[in-house]
Chains A and B, each alone.
Chain A
């Protein structure tokens, strides 16, 4: 018998069967549970978790994939920047194929734009040091998990005296989106699977105001199959017992207070702002703008980016899919005009998008 690795311990089939039985016992009525993290979406599909759940439980993929909730206006802005001669665009790979209104970063790269895939914001700072004659623009997309690292990159660039590095901040924060979801039309959610990585930074208590306002079962969950099954079981019991709570099923990584140091770095560089989410519209205080004292590192202030408002692609249901009002297979484009190879909407292009996950793992 091979040694069981740390990860394998959280994929144990016998324990999984026990957790599934717990869920089956608790699921005494239809329950609609939403996860709001792209990594959860992927993990649920990759491990075939939907397949194990009783029919009473419906899992919805909310606005948890950062690429999917990035407004087309911002995508068009990214692309416009990539078309400038002096600019190197540094981005996480997921953004490459996202279609803007007319083209994508991938297509622009094929036409000659200088677009580089990086694995961290700090890599983009390195790129700026290597290319002093160009301006490196990092595309800042992501939730509280990623934002502290982007803030740290800006602080590093300032300390190095770099004048050719800046960030297009389309960063977002999770708790205001939960409130917006509860007010979105046609949305019915009985409980939330809260994002593990985001919670490592913001801590369980960051959801307290939301929980107290709406009184909905909320469980912070990790990403291994047993983490997710345990969290679903917790939610199902809370719903069945009519005793909603805010609980933490990912204690090995998440504390009540999160990571204060990371939040402090984030707050030093970014300030809350209203921002547009694809599918949800403008949500108050849900975005992060670069503070005035770091204006030199703000791509939107450095460059005049002219983008025009364009309608969403015709027939695309990404909006209602992101709020859980519809499922990917409700969309007439799904699997026909819209596939991962030739995506129409953002939920199909990002590997963490719910449409892409449905298409790849569960047609």
Chain B
């Protein structure tokens, strides 16, 4: 087995699956360990004299900069807004750091920023600090964006990956894999046409509506890289519970399902940028579902399964035809089949 310090970082380390998880838990966590970081949630929640705040950061390197349904600008805003929203927070302020490659057309930068501004208006947040660096051609690819955000956590709200309890229903706010497929088909110059659009959207209003309708909700998560499959596994591990999901109940757009079949992808592991998962006590599940469906980003929300006491840490799927299989975490990037 290779000596861990002799290997180089591979793209698998950034794909949001098992290796990324290892990088976090084996390299970053031991170096920076503290109780707030150790929650390993999308954002950290901490106490101040004036109440609790949530703080989160995210970096965006998507290629291409513009894709059907969005751009890196909207993504950079919604990504951090959603990380805060998944802490149960009301997002307030953002910072934005731009790393620009020499030669990027000014018009592209302007378009990205205009779309970022529109996304901030939609989410109800303001940019209050920022930074711009330009690097020589080749030292970065066109444009990378980092955003960080601060939100206020209303009193009484406690959200974390460890809050799922046996008997809870698992809710998903809409179709899976739209973002992953939209970017992939754009990037790879696929020889087929599709009208699949990214689902990038701010989830803060929907998250608050769910918490108001179903105050027993203790887990919210946006299944971005690694997809719904990986996010469910993370919750199952952190909460030490099992999960059973029903294949027939998983919302997938037919065009996305078709492209996935063609390329050998599993929509459970492709990225979403405007979807949330939540675990709600059984008696509040319908109220949480109604709150999701009332949002413009949650019309196709569904109850997709149940939290169980069996096999803690394991996610199982009851297949459409009546079989049963494990849903594991994503390992590395999803790759197309070759036969």
Once the chains bind, are B323 and A51 in contact (CB under 8 Å)? yes
Tell me what chain B mostly uses at the interface: helix, strand, loop, or mixed.
loop
Once the chains bind, are B337 and A351 in contact (CB under 8 Å)? yes
Once the chains bind, are B323 and A341 in contact (CB under 8 Å)? no
Task: Please measure, in the bound complex, the distance between the C-alpha atom of A117 and the C-alpha atom of B19, giving whole angstroms.
Answer: 20
Once the chains bind, are B338 and A146 in contact (CB under 8 Å)? yes
Residue A107, interface by CB 8 Å: yes
Nearest neighbor of A195 in chain B, beta-carbon distance:
B339
Task: Please measure, in the bound complex, the distance between the C-alpha atom of A351 and the C-alpha atom of B338, giving whole angstroms.
Answer: 10
Residue B133, interface by CB 8 Å: no
Nearest neighbor of B336 in chain A, beta-carbon distance:
A93
Once the chains bind, are B339 and A66 in contact (CB under 8 Å)? yes
> When A and B form their complex, what is the total count of cross-chain residue pairs whose Cβ atoms lie within 8 Å?
132
Residue B12, interface by CB 8 Å: yes
Once the chains bind, are B12 and A360 in contact (CB under 8 Å)? no
Would you give the shortest CB distance from B330 to chain A, in whole angstroms?
Answer: 10
Binds A, one of B33-41, B83-91, B291-299, B313-321: B313-321
Q: Mark A89-125, 1 if CB is under 8 A from B, else 0.
A: 0001111110000000011011100000101100000
Once the chains bind, are A48 and B8 in contact (CB under 8 Å)? no
Task: Please measure, in the bound complex, the distance between the C-alpha atom of A111 and the C-alpha atom of B8, giving whole angstroms.
Answer: 7
Nearest neighbor of B248 in chain A, beta-carbon distance:
A13
Task: Please measure, in the bound complex, the distance between the C-alpha atom of A97 and the C-alpha atom of B334, giving whole angstroms.
Answer: 12
What number of A residues sit within 8 Å (CB to CB) of B?
60
Binds A, one of B45-53, B193-201, B253-261: B253-261
Contacts of A268 in B (CB 8 A): none
Contact of B258 among A7, A95, A119, A352 (CB under 8 A): A7
Would you give the shortest CB distance from A182 to chain B, in whole angstroms?
Answer: 22
Task: Please measure, in the bound complex, the distance between the C-alpha atom of A44 and the C-alpha atom of B14, giving whole angstroms.
Answer: 30
Which 6 pairs, one residue from A and one from B, show the smallest C-beta to C-beta distance? A48-B323, A93-B335, A16-B321, A110-B8, A340-B331, A92-B338
> What residues make up the interface of A, taking CB atoms closer than 8 Å to B?
5, 7, 11-13, 16-17, 20, 37-39, 42, 45-52, 64-67, 92-97, 106-107, 109-111, 117, 119-120, 141-143, 145-146, 197-198, 225-226, 229, 337, 339-342, 351-352, 359-363
> What residues make up the interface of B, taking CB atoms closer than 8 Å to A?
1, 7-12, 18-19, 22, 188, 190-191, 248, 254, 257-258, 261, 263-264, 266, 317-326, 328, 331-339
Q: List 5 A-B contacts (CB under 8 A).
A: A5-B254, A12-B321, A13-B248, A97-B12, A341-B19
Besides the known contacts A48-B318, A352-B337, 17 further A-B residue pairs in the complex with CB atoms under 8 A apart: A12-B321, A13-B321, A16-B321, A38-B339, A39-B339, A47-B320, A47-B321, A48-B325, A49-B323, A66-B338, A107-B10, A119-B188, A225-B321, A341-B22, A351-B335, A360-B326, A360-B328
